[in-house]
Amino acid sequence: MSTDSTLLATLVRRVHLAIRHHINEDLRAAGFADLTPAHMYVLQTPGPEGARPTELALRTNMTKQAMNHLLGRLVQLGYLKRGPAADDGRGTVLHLTERGRDAQRIMLERAAELERVWAKKIGKRRLEDLRELLFALDALDAAAITP
């Protein structure tokens, strides 16, 4: 065990960036070179299917303007389409196109492959312990951890 004093936030960010790097490489190799790492935030699980742009902005911690910029580009590139909300018909919801579903599938497959590699390197039990700890941290109320 390491007693390194590196902040947990730094370590989580490094892992996050490594994941994005590997997924981006696989997307490029599969012919999705027009996607940027920022687009991955829109396509990542749970994905944009049936979501409103404001919901995606909140989910990804982006401004509505930044999210609409990304969404506009993804529509232009053929990954998404916009449609009326089923509940009131006034709002806009997003739907993946076939190309969008293909890109999302590659992202999910690569993420699963990374988990298999990690399980081999650090052990399945340790990886599951990490997953449980991350779920617990994710579930914490932000107000409860605000100084």
* Domain at 14, CATH number: 1.10.10.10
For 68-79, how does the pLDDT look when each residue is reduced to its tens digit (9 = 90+)? 999 999 999 999
Q: What's the pLDDT band for 114 if we cut at 50, 70, 90?
A: very high
| For residues 86-93, average pLDDT | 77
The whole-model pTM stands at: 0.84
Q: Is residue 33 part of a domain?
A: yes
Q: Is residue 62 part of a domain?
A: yes
Domain extent at residue 39: 8-142
Q: Is residue 21 part of a domain?
A: yes
Q: Please tell me the predicted confidence (pLDDT) of residue 17.
A: 94
Whether 39 contacts 75, CB under 8 Å: no
Q: Is residue 26 part of a domain?
A: yes
Instruction: Say yes or no to pLDDT of 115 above 90.
Output: yes
Q: What's the pLDDT band for 103 if we cut at 50, 70, 90?
A: very high
Q: Is residue 1 part of a domain?
A: no
Kindly state the helix (H) or strand (E) to which residue 26 belongs, with its residue range: helix 8-29
Q: Is residue 2 part of a domain?
A: no
Q: Is residue 135 part of a domain?
A: yes
Question: Based on the structure, what is the number of domains in the chain?
Answer: 1
Separation in Å, CA 116 to CA 30, 127, 132: 21, 9, 16
Q: Is residue 28 part of a domain?
A: yes
| For residues 78-86, average pLDDT | 90
Between 141 and 95, residue with greater pLDDT: 95
Helix (H, G, I), strand (E, B) or coil at 134: helix
Between 61 and 76, residue with greater pLDDT: 76
